[in-house]
Amino acid sequence: MSAGIIGIARYTPDRTVTNADLEKVMDTSDEWIRTRTGIEERRLADDDMDTSDMAYYAAEKAIENAGLTAEDLDMILVATVTPDQPFPTVACMLQEKLGARKVAAMDLSAACAGFMYGLITAQQFIETGAYKNVLVVGVEKLSKITDWDDRNTAVLFGDGAGAAVVSNVSEGKGFLSFELGSDGSGGKHLYQDEKIVMNGREVFKFAVRQMGESSVNVIEKAGLKKEDVDFLIPHQANIRIMEAARERLELPVEKMSKTVHKYGNTSAASIPISLVEEIEAGTVKDGDVVVMVGFGGGLTWGAIAMRWGR
């Protein structure tokens, strides 16, 4: 059996905060933010909206997109580092909000690589025949752990959610290969101490190297060549990091998803949000070979090569 995505959706809050808005409250500028990160604006959730709410909005639409109901789910996985509270998990809260059966539910914590970890975990349950339909959600309310007095990190992050239903797909479609990894020695460069703390220079160096290496590795594992790749969905952290991965794959600019300018870094939500946007725009089509790659605190990383479609 081959596992793949049969339904996907996203949710982003209505509130938009532009670089110009940030100029008014901190020592920064639109030009500084755009040239170094590619970010122009980001979405922030209201105080009364939490992580589980955004997860629900994305999940409900993804289940509908898959042509299923919540009753069809066998497992719920939520990738997040910003749960409503330590426990119960967002996944358990989501099970109740969706009205799903009392299925297995758990949160995964791999920071910005969390959605990759979630998809690959789901793949194992599907391809062993243990479960039929697994809901995977990447969701973050990073605004609640952002240090708004630190101009180096405050300009980077946004809130949002992306959800996918992983199930059996037809032969030749779905996940072709994957890579997951970690390097705990780099954890000191990106961590949470009440608020997000980041050594930008060290994280940048790690990400540029790892995003490119992982992308190439999953292509090779799938028995493909660079020219076989139709589209790249990188974690939307920084346009310069994203461009480095694109250049490593020798892809033209139009074959890489770019949503960082609209949403900033939404951590575990960034890859599914971007994938949905490309599908809706028609730039990712049935049968396309797509590479998704992300990195995050831990330090963690993950990449998937897949052939899009059911």
The answer to whether 135 and 108 are in contact (CB under 8 A) is no
Structure tokens at 97: 């909000």
CA-CA distance, 164 to 119, in Å (whole number)? 8
The answer to whether 55 and 48 are in contact (CB under 8 A) is no
CA-CA distance, 133 to 145, in Å (whole number)? 32
In the DSSP assignment, the letter for residue 188 is G
168 is catalytic: no
Q: Which of 112, 133, 189, 238 is catalytic?
A: 112
Side-chain half-sphere CA neighbours of 309 within 13 A: 11
In a 3-state reduction of DSSP, which class is residue 29? Answer: coil
Q: Which of 65, 189, 235, 238 is catalytic?
A: 235
Structure tokens at 228: 């076989």
CA-CA distance, 173 to 239, in Å (whole number)? 29
265 is catalytic: yes
The answer to whether 146 and 153 are in contact (CB under 8 A) is yes
Q: Which of 19, 133, 238, 265 is catalytic?
A: 265
CA-CA distance, 101 to 230, in Å (whole number)? 38
The answer to whether 137 and 107 are in contact (CB under 8 A) is no
112 is catalytic: yes
CA-CA distance, 60 to 68, in Å (whole number)? 10
CA-CA distance, 276 to 282, in Å (whole number)? 10
Active site residues: 112, 235, 265
